[in-house]
Amino acid sequence: MDFLSYLINGISLGSVYAIIALGYTMVYGIAKMLNFAHGDVIMVGCYIVFMMMGKAGVPPIVAILGAVVICTVLGMGIEKLAYKPLRRATSLAVLITAIGVSYFLQNSALLIFGADSKSFTSVVNLPNLQLAGGKLTISSTTLVTVIVCIVIMLALSFFIKKTKAGQAMLAVSEDKDAAMLMGINANATISLTFAIGSCLAAIAGALFCSAYPVLTPYTGSMPGIKAFTAAVFGGIGSIPGAFIGGILLGVIEIFAKAYVSSQLSDAIVFAVLIIVLLVRPTGILGKKIHEKV
């Protein structure tokens, strides 16, 4: 029974990583840049949900919608102001800019909301699920997180494969210049990618803080790094890869804590990552990139 509980905890943690990793992987796949500010957009999303639910007293679903709208606008704004002017710059310059945006968001939150921790009220207000005569309890937050994660992954896959805008994204990710020659508005496509990524960040934020309810301006940074790891683990740029990477990372982390050592869990997670990358340098589902000669 313990094993099952650990597994469920692992999947729960992993699905939060997975939703965040989806945002990383989308942006990387299409814009070919690491958006390190992604974790901080999550934090902004958490604060907006917290403020709307706690201060304005709106129902959770309205608060999440509000956060989605604000984060989407924020994500597009960041893209337009900070990343778009650097479209032709080296990838290192963009990376440093992303780190800068990350610090900017953290310190702005520090200024606006203060450094005091806030206790987040769960957006999921359902009874816990009892199985096996009460021996196994699955919290409603876990269930909702896993379901939302799967729905988002399927919706994103559908969007990319079946819609015109999704096809445009695929084309831009394959070859931006060729896509532009074919009449695709690459800038609008990249903007849309950031919009979707930030919208996912808002949802991820609400779910993350529901499961782990203490909110500070630095809330986003650690899960952001873990989710980035998950995205690399699953194969960065691949949507199912981000999902699998996230779930695996969560499960490995919890199992390492449960069966090896609670102190060494992070070391074990990253050791597994190194081994996977040695065997499969592009991650589990990553595409092999052929070097052009």
Partner 1 sequence: MKSLKKLLSVALVGVMCVSVLAGCDSNTASGQASAGAATETFKIGGIGPITGGAAIYGTAVMNGAQIAVDEINAAGGINGYQIEYKFEDDTHDAEKSVNAYNSLKDWGMQALVGTVTTTPCIAVADYTAQDGMLEITPSASSTDVIVNDNVFQVCFTDPNQGTASAQYIGEGNLATKVAVIYDSSDVYSSGIEATFVKEAENQNFEVVAVEAFTADSKTDFSTQLQKAQSAGADLVFLPFYYQEAAIVLKQAKDMDYAPVFFGVDGMDGILTLEGFDTTLAEGVILLTPFAADAKDEATQKFVATYQEKYNEIPNQFAADAYDAVYAVKAALEAANATPSQTAQEIGNLAIPAMTTITVNGITGEMTWQATGEVSKTPKAVVIKDGVYVAMD
Contacting positions for partner 1 (CB under 8 A): 2, 5-6, 9, 12-13, 50, 54, 114-121, 128, 130, 134, 137, 139, 141-142, 211-214, 216, 222-223, 253-254, 257-258, 261-263, 265-266
What's the min distance (Å) between Cβ of 220 and partner 1? 11
Nearer residue to partner 1 within complex by CB, 9 or 193: 9
> Is the CB of 90 or the CB of 262 nearer to partner 1?
262
Which residues are registered as beta bridge partners of 215?
118
Q: Rounded to whole angstroms, how far apart are CA atoms 1 and 194?
A: 42
What's the closest the beta carbon of residue 114 comes to partner 1, in angstroms?
A: 7
* Min dist. Cβ of residue 173 to partner 1 (A): 32
* Cα separation, 270 vs 55, whole angstroms: 40
Strands (E), the chain: 118-119, 129-131, 136-138, 214-215
Query: Of the two residues 12 and 72, which places its CB atom closer to partner 1 in the complex?
Result: 12
Taking every pair of Cα atoms in the chain, the longest distance, rounded to a whole number of angstroms, is 63
Q: Are 105 and 44 in contact (CB under 8 A)?
A: yes
- Give the residue with the Cβ less far from partner 1, 152 or 251: 251
Q: What is the Cα–Cα distance from 286 to 283, expressed in whole angstroms? A: 5
Tokens representing 259? 């069966």
C-beta of 132: minimal distance to partner 1 in Å?
A: 13
